[in-house]
Amino acid sequence: MNLLLTCEHARNLIPKEFSKLFKGKQKLLSSHRGWDAGALEIARGLKRKLKAPLLEGNYSRLVIDLNRSENHRKAFSEFTAHLPEDTKEKIISKIHRPFRQKAEAIVSKQNTLHISIHSFVPILDDKKRNCEIGILYDPKRLLEVEIAKQLKFYLKASALHPRIRLNYPYRGSSDGHTTKLRKMYSPKKYIGIELEFNQGWLKELKKNKHLINLIAISIQRAGNTLKFNF
């Protein structure tokens, strides 16, 4: 079993040719609308510890969202949705498709556990989200259910003692990168998990050198229970 890491919302950069569209929007770009703060650090740490390939999104999701299908009505944001069709096609072929195709090339070669790394804001619409890590999976795919359960167990038992919720703050089966790959590959060949980290918790833990280690070990142990070695 191969391990693949992805970080779709790693950055809030805008390609030079579209910078005009985002003039004066720096604050919005720095917010969660622009990117998943803290996710790339976790993803890179896991890449190092687990020696797994990592695909990183290079631009803000407000240009095109790599975690939406290219024809999803929300793939483009209010800043890019109105662009001429040929410009949008260019964005898809230069940014979206190459990212997705790299993942497909890896999965097609070998059975793969894909872990897609994200972060979420601690408070949404005045409501505090009461967990530190969300594990998203498709309840219909038994290997995903099992690996999510094991991951929850090992993460919870780690020295971080995070509160963990399954399929929270989003449903694992909504449109996304993992959902697309599930449609392409059988449940044995492809296991797609999204890990969602609370940004407030990540900030607190920033000085904790062991954070990445503990997450990496939890992934390894959860994999081992299913006889995956990576």
What are residue 89's phi and psi, to 5 degrees? -60, -40
Instruction: Name the 3-class secondary structure at 79.
Output: coil
Nearest approach, Cβ of 132 to Zn ion (angstroms)? 16
Q: 39-50 and 210-225 helices cross at what angle (nearest 10)?
A: 60
Gap between the Cα atoms of 190 and 195, Å rounded = 16
| Residue choice 4, 5, 6, 9 for contact with Zn ion (CB under 5 A) | 9
Those residues whose C-beta lies under 8 Å from the C-beta of residue 175, and which sit 6 or more positions away, are: 68, 69, 72
The verdict on 114 binding Zn ion (CB under 5 A) reads no
The one among 47, 68, 96, 118 contacting Zn ion by CB under 5 A:
118
Q: Which is nearer to Zn ion, 41 or 228 (CB)?
A: 41
Q: Kindly state the smallest distance separating residue 44's Cβ from Zn ion, in Å.
A: 15
Regarding 36 and contact with Zn ion (CB under 5 A), the answer is yes
Q: With contacts defined by CB under 5 A, name the span among 31-39, 44-52, 155-163, 221-229 that binds Zn ion.
A: 31-39
Q: How far is the CB of 67 from Zn ion (least distance, A)?
A: 6
Q: Name the residue with the smallest CB distance to Zn ion.
A: 118
**Measured CA distances, 217 to 46, 121, 124 (Å):** 10, 25, 30
Q: Which residues bind Zn ion (CB under 5 A)?
A: 9, 36, 118
